[in-house]
Structure 1
Amino acid sequence: MKASDLTKGLMALVEQKVPTFLWGAPGIGKSSIVKEIALSKNIGFIDLRLALMDPTDLKGIPFYDKESHTALWAPPAFLPQSGEGILFLDELNSAAPSVQSSAYQLILDRRVGEYELPEGWAIVAAGNREGDRGVTYRMPAPLANRFVHFELEVSVDDWRDWAYKVHLDSRIIAYISYKNEHLFTFDAKNESKSFATPRSWEYVANILKSNIDTSLLLDTISGAVGKDVAVGFLSFIKVMNKLPDIEAILAGNIEHYSEEVDVLYALSSGLVSAYLQNPSEENLENLLAYTLKMKSEFAVMIVQDLQRNSITMEHSQTFKKWVEKFAYLLN
């Protein structure tokens, strides 16, 4: 399931407090999706990495109660005590079976030991698939049956929408637009430690922001996304030197048009990124006017990217001309 569709379904299930399990390969944004849902609903979010826990971490520590002459469990302070939110049990199927047993009680009964999960909190869990080279334990059928299961797939379109919203380096957006297959290169049969994922491309963005010596750039980026992808990306960056002045295009002061495909991918992503960071009616008119003379597939890609980022343009006279020219490609 694509991230955009999964988000809609997950929001509805969180509202009804239905336990949900997200399956997917490493680094594709499972935890990020759940966290963004909590932020959008303005509710709490607690991320528990169960693979790092012991059974007593969830159940608490036993102590002797003098008044009742019984052993009670002191619940952990990190579990929610009130309010609303999402309790995210990450790496559930990577946790030891004894930890899964404690989680099972929490999921089934919404309580463990002396602790009871507040009514306003929903439970969402996640884990890697058994064939993803991670340490996993087969989930017991009774536990699996307590969840609604979704498998998250990698979608380039969804990733591009997210990348524009967080203002990821436009060179990375351009490269993935040009080389879709390099967004996610994980192969369970390949023993390589480095491979491209949405998460590792975030690392690349941070590497590009750093002051690392250019002589170390290839090796460093290779450590994030793998050697072949790093070579392709750094070669693509050189294309950026061929781009016309993006700010001048938005200002309506340039009419330079390229026919090179790699340049057009870089230019299209650069124009969208620049506009989203400095939106105005004048910039929109100039941008739309520029797309009228671009290759059709890139003109459509720019407009669709703007629309997916909630930019309205139906009121624009230039957009009406754009529709007359390119509408046949949208059907």
Structure 2
Amino acid sequence: MIPNHIKQSLKTLIPLRQPAFLWGAPGVGKSQVVAQVADELGMALTDVRAVLLDPVDLRGLPSINSEGVAHWAPPAFLPTGGKGVLFLDELNAAPPLVQAACYQLVLDRKIGEYTLPDGWTVIAAGNRETDRAVTHRMPSALANRFVHLDFSVDVEAWLQWADQAGLCQEVSAFIRFRPNLLHNFDPKKNEKAFPSPRSWEFAARIVASVPDPDVELSLLKGTVGPGAAAEFAGFSKMFRQLPDPDGVINHPETADVPDEPAVLYALCEALAQKADEETTESIMAYASRLPSEFGVLLVRDAVKTHRGMVDSPAFSQWATANSDVLL
């Protein structure tokens, strides 16, 4: 399931207090999606890394009251009221005894003398056994307590998130050009660094910080792997030599149209970010001069930036002239 479908599924399951388990490769954004859903539902989020727990950490410690009776004091990280999501991340990476301690919490919403408040739902996540990450086989009795959702990567959803998060255009333009490199994980290769939505976020932050050119490629290799880093470095060299987007907007009828597809992807990304009421006509004029697939790319992304573009006469003229491509 793509991230948007995962989010819609969680928005159905959480109000029902139905536990769910998200399965996915490392770095695809499982934790982030859970946090986004909790925020959109206006609920608190308690993120518990199950792999770091001992069995006693969930049950709590015994204490003796004035009557000489032992009681279990639950840990402070477990919620005591309100509404929220108790997120057990990396649950299947936890030792079997910790997983066993989760049985009662997931099934009966209690563990020892602690009871999960009515407004809270248990959601868990973990890597697949085929990913060769550190995992312990989940007992069938525990697995049967969850609705299981398989998490897959979606390029458009990530690009939309990257735009909202303000990641640098250079990385977004590259992912549009090489979408297969958004997530390229082969568990058989045992690589320390590989392309994933999470590692590209790290790479975008590195690029935005303008590192020393002598170390930039090494930093990227250590973030997204040598192959993806080399391709991105070549793309970046062209990206940084793009025609000035402002110059294109000021002279859309005479500005150069690059021949190299990678440069066109990057230029369309840069122009789309400048879309507003004043630049609409110029962007539409330049889009009409591009190869049809790039014209559609530019207009589609520009509309995401400035929705009012669709109401302009320039958009209507362009859409009429390109109706065969849009159908």
- The answer to whether 1:185 aligns with 2:184 is yes
1:316 to 293, 312, 317: 312
SS in 2 for 1:186: coil
- Residues 272 and 305 of structure 2 are in contact (CA less than 8 Å); yes or no, is this contact kept in structure 1? no
* 1:90-105 matches, cutoff 5 A: 90-105=89-104
Counterparts of 2:34 and 2:308, CA distance in 1: 28
Percent sequence identity over matched residues?
A: 42
Where do 5+ consecutive residues of structure 1 fail to align?
A: none
CA pair 309-212 structure 1, distance change in 2 beyond 3 A: closer
Q: Which residue of 2 aligns with 1:3?
A: 3
1:294 to 285, 290, 294: 290
1:285 to 281, 285, 301: 281
Q: Which amino acid aligns with 1:229?
A: A
- The answer to whether 1:217 aligns with 2:213 is no
Mean alpha-carbon deviation: is it higher for 175-184 or for 308-317?
308-317
Mean alpha-carbon deviation: is it higher for 314-323 or for 296-305?
296-305
Q: Which residue of 1 aligns with 2:20?
A: 20
Counterparts of 2:283 and 2:119, CA distance in 1: 46
Counterparts of 1:199 and 1:178, CA distance in 2: 18
Q: Which amino acid aligns with 1:106?
A: L
Q: Which amino acid aligns with 1:57?
A: D
- Residues 46 and 86 of structure 2 are in contact (CA less than 8 Å); yes or no, is this contact kept in structure 1? yes
Mean alpha-carbon deviation: is it higher for 259-268 or for 308-317?
308-317
Counterparts of 2:236 and 2:57, CA distance in 1: 47
Mean alpha-carbon deviation: is it higher for 238-247 or for 134-143?
238-247
CA shift digits 1:101-125 (9 cap, x unpaired)? 1212111111112211111112111
CA pair 255-115 structure 1, distance change in 2 beyond 3 A: same
Q: Which amino acid aligns with 1:96?
A: P
Q: Which residue of 2 aligns with 1:81?
A: 80
Q: Which residue of 1 aligns with 2:241?
A: 242
CA pair 250-165 structure 1, distance change in 2 beyond 3 A: farther
* 1:72-151 matches, cutoff 5 A: 72-151=71-150
Counterparts of 1:251 and 1:77, CA distance in 2: 60
CA pair 64-218 structure 1, distance change in 2 beyond 3 A: same
Q: Which residue of 2 aligns with 1:264?
A: 264
Q: Which amino acid aligns with 2:209?
A: S
Q: Which residue of 2 aligns with 1:159?
A: 158
Counterparts of 1:200 and 1:228, CA distance in 2: 14
Q: Which amino acid aligns with 1:15?
A: P
Counterparts of 1:165 and 1:171, CA distance in 2: 15
CA shift digits 1:29-81 (9 cap, x unpaired)? 000011111112222111111001111111111112233x3321111111111
Counterparts of 2:249 and 2:43, CA distance in 1: 39
CA pair 194-314 structure 1, distance change in 2 beyond 3 A: same
Q: How much does 1:250 deviate?
A: 4.2
Q: How much does 1:211 deviate?
A: 5.0
Counterparts of 1:72 and 1:249, CA distance in 2: 73
Q: How much does 1:90 deviate?
A: 0.3
What TM-score, normalized by structure 1, do the two folds share? 0.93
Q: Which residue of 1 aligns with 2:324?
A: 328
Q: How much does 1:227 deviate?
A: 0.9
SS in 2 for 1:87: strand
Q: Which amino acid aligns with 1:289?
A: A
Counterparts of 2:281 and 2:79, CA distance in 1: 50
Q: Which amino acid aligns with 2:307?
A: I
Q: Which residue of 1 aligns with 2:61?
A: 61
Counterparts of 1:312 and 1:268, CA distance in 2: 18
Where do 5+ consecutive residues of structure 2 fail to align?
A: none
Q: Which amino acid aligns with 1:320?
A: S
Counterparts of 2:113 and 2:251, CA distance in 1: 67
Counterparts of 1:164 and 1:54, CA distance in 2: 40
CA shift digits 1:216-237 (9 cap, x unpaired)? 1111110011111111111111
Q: Which residue of 2 aligns with 1:304?
A: 300
CA pair 107-177 structure 1, distance change in 2 beyond 3 A: same
Instruction: Count residues with an aligned counterpart.
Output: 326
RMSD over aligned Cα atoms: 1.8
Dislocated runs of 4+, deviation >4 Å: 250-254, 306-310
